[in-house]
Amino acid sequence: MTEYATLTFEGKTLELPIVTGTEGEKAIDIRMLRQKTGYITFDPGYGNTGCCKSAITFMNGEKGILRYRGIPIEELAENSTFVETSYLLINGRLPTRKELTRTSVMLNDFSLVHEDMQNFYQNFPRASHPMGILSAMVNALRSFYPELVETDEQTEMIFLRLLSKVRTMAAMSYKISRGHKVIYPRPDYTYCANFLHMMFDTPVKPYVIDQDLVRALNVFWILHADHEQNCSTSAVKTVGSARANIYATLSAGIAALWGPLHGGANQAVVEMLAKIWKEGLSIEEVISRAKDKTDPFRLMGFGHRVYKTYDPRAKIMKKICDRVLPKLNINDPLLDIAKKLEEVALNDAYFIDYNLYPNVDFYSGILLRAMGIPTNMFTVMFAIGRLPGWLAQWKENLDDPEQKLCRPRQIYTGSNQKPYIPIDDRE
């Protein structure tokens, strides 16, 4: 039976239906609000606005819960691979062995990039940021693969093509930015091993695949694979709602992810830690700057719109750093600084009062550094990981008959009507 919330305004009342999710989350359905009252809701940043019903990812920010299709992130990080998790997100269930093998074979089949695309790469200025290049190149894929996403078979093919090629394109952009020969994928390697191979193999020094690093990369990408209605996913859904093509739509998601308040935070964290180390800043000094409201500086890698406790992804990421760095014989001073910073912040009244805890980006840069990934590629690594989430959310949105063109309203605060003044009569 539908429950209702009652809105009272200007001496009138309006019954608004309550929508309840499978985990008991509640929303007031205001779709008829403007039509029935002339009012709209006001919610900058959409912190209280549910834009869809979704069966993909569940988050509880108070309890630090994250589940993909019902499965806890901790179990996926322990047992799954990135390819299997991508299948889960996109198809709604774990694959059978046969389905997983077929997916892996198709990912390998699609792993090459049209040779003509190299011309684009070669012409970006050397100092271009890899996120700008990736966003432009994903948009350009439309010109190389103009097929439409109409049937289920086409959707599967285009999704797998994107998952495979975006990874190849990311490695390719790194090689080209260094002026090195592009390394092609190998059909006998798994998805993650192939990425490391394309990034680090050279004609003079073959790269030896380390299975611990392959596992760490799988976990890194699993942790980033989806995060419900975050900024870049909302960008993907907004652009997708205009029925823009899938490549342009993803390119918008990549652009949103680039921002330092979102995916760009992993680069910003390592830059912050490196600055503390190089300039010998004290942890107390850094914390005090982060608290100073007259200073725009924020403690990067801390705080989250949804999590008001420790981000479950950050816990897993910290554990992997503790496991992988000693194994690689890496003694990274930035890891020590990060741990000290975390300890001081978690005991500081400001961070406690504002519920500011480490998020996924706090430790992820340290893991990527240990793998040999350059700092300006960190957000590209996030983008490869987020791709299955964007694809799953984009498809769910298009398949949902309740969804419409995204088009928020506003409260206008500008001038009231006034006449046009000819230029010679202006003061």
Contact in structure between 185 and 165 (CB atoms under 8 Å): no
How far apart (Å, rounded) are the C-alpha atoms in residues 381 and 365?
10
CB of 147 to ligand CMC, least distance (A): 32
**Among residues 58 and 302, whose Cβ is nearest to ligand CMC?**
302
Q: Where are the alpha helices (DSSP H) in 111-230?
A: 117-122, 130-144, 152-177, 191-200, 211-224
Site size for ligand CMC, by CB under 6 A?
21
**Among residues 165 and 313, whose Cβ is nearest to ligand CMC?**
313
Residue number with the smallest Cβ distance to ligand CMC: 303
Which of 354, 372, 400, 408 is close enough to bind ligand CMC by CB under 6 A?
A: 354
CB of 305 to ligand CMC, least distance (A): 4
CB of 383 to ligand CMC, least distance (A): 12
Write the binding mask 25 to 64 for ligand CMC: x where contact by CB under 6 A, - elsewhere.
--------------------x-------------------
Total count of residues recorded for the chain: 427
Q: Which stretch binds ligand CMC (CB under 6 A): 279-287, 294-302, 335-343, 413-421?
A: 294-302
How far apart (Å, rounded) are the C-alpha atoms in residues 362 and 301?
4
230 binds ligand CMC (CB under 6 A): yes
227 binds ligand CMC (CB under 6 A): yes
Residue 37 belongs to what H/E stretch? helix 33-37
Q: Known catalytic residue: 348? A: no
CB of 70 to ligand CMC, least distance (A): 21
Angle between helices 211-224 and 361-371 (to 10 degrees): 150
Contact in structure between 192 and 221 (CB atoms under 8 Å): yes
Q: What separation in angstroms does the CA of 147 have from each of 103, 125, 153, 246, 307?
A: 20, 30, 12, 10, 39
Q: What are phi and psi of 25, to 5 degrees?
A: -70, 140
**Among residues 213 and 314, whose Cβ is nearest to ligand CMC?**
314
**Among residues 236 and 356, whose Cβ is nearest to ligand CMC?**
356
Q: Known catalytic residue: 361? A: yes
Residue 76 belongs to what H/E stretch? helix 73-79
Q: Is 15 helix (H, G, I), strand (E, B) or coil?
A: strand
- By CB under 6 A, the residues from 297 to 326 that bind ligand CMC are 298-305
Residue from 197, 224, 227, 304 carrying the catalytic annotation = 304
**Among residues 20 and 355, whose Cβ is nearest to ligand CMC?**
355
Which of 73, 356, 367, 384 is close enough to bind ligand CMC by CB under 6 A?
A: 356
**Among residues 141 and 265, whose Cβ is nearest to ligand CMC?**
265
CB of 331 to ligand CMC, least distance (A): 25
Contact in structure between 155 and 143 (CB atoms under 8 Å): no
Please list the helix, strand and coil fractions of the chain in percent, rounded to the nearest 5, in that order. 55, 5, 40
**Among residues 300 and 337, whose Cβ is nearest to ligand CMC?**
300
Q: Where are the alpha helices (DSSP H) in 244-360?
A: 246-257, 265-279, 283-291, 312-327, 333-346, 349-353
Write the binding mask 207 to 226 for ligand CMC: x where contact by CB under 6 A, - elsewhere.
--------------------
290 binds ligand CMC (CB under 6 A): yes
- By CB under 6 A, the residues from 360 to 399 that bind ligand CMC are 360-361
CB of 232 to ligand CMC, least distance (A): 8
Token pair belonging to 60: 């509880």
CB of 373 to ligand CMC, least distance (A): 17
**Among residues 218 and 379, whose Cβ is nearest to ligand CMC?**
379
Q: What are phi and psi of 28, to 5 degrees?
A: -100, 120
Residue 248: which residues within 8 A CB-CB, separation 6 or more? 139, 142, 239
Token pair belonging to 366: 């340290």
262 binds ligand CMC (CB under 6 A): yes
Q: What are phi and psi of 188, to 5 degrees?
A: -90, 0
Token pair belonging to 237: 């859904």
How far apart (Å, rounded) are the C-alpha atoms in residues 93 and 214?
24
CB of 224 to ligand CMC, least distance (A): 8
Sign of CA dihedral 129, 131, 136, 138: positive
**Among residues 138 and 286, whose Cβ is nearest to ligand CMC?**
286
Q: Is 243 helix (H, G, I), strand (E, B) or coil?
A: coil
Which of 169, 265, 371, 377 is close enough to bind ligand CMC by CB under 6 A?
A: 265
CB of 313 to ligand CMC, least distance (A): 8
How far apart (Å, rounded) are the C-alpha atoms in residues 100 and 78?
18
Q: Which residues are catalytic?
A: 304, 361
Which residues are near ligand CMC by CB under 6 A? 45, 227, 230, 261-263, 265, 290, 298-305, 354, 356, 359-361
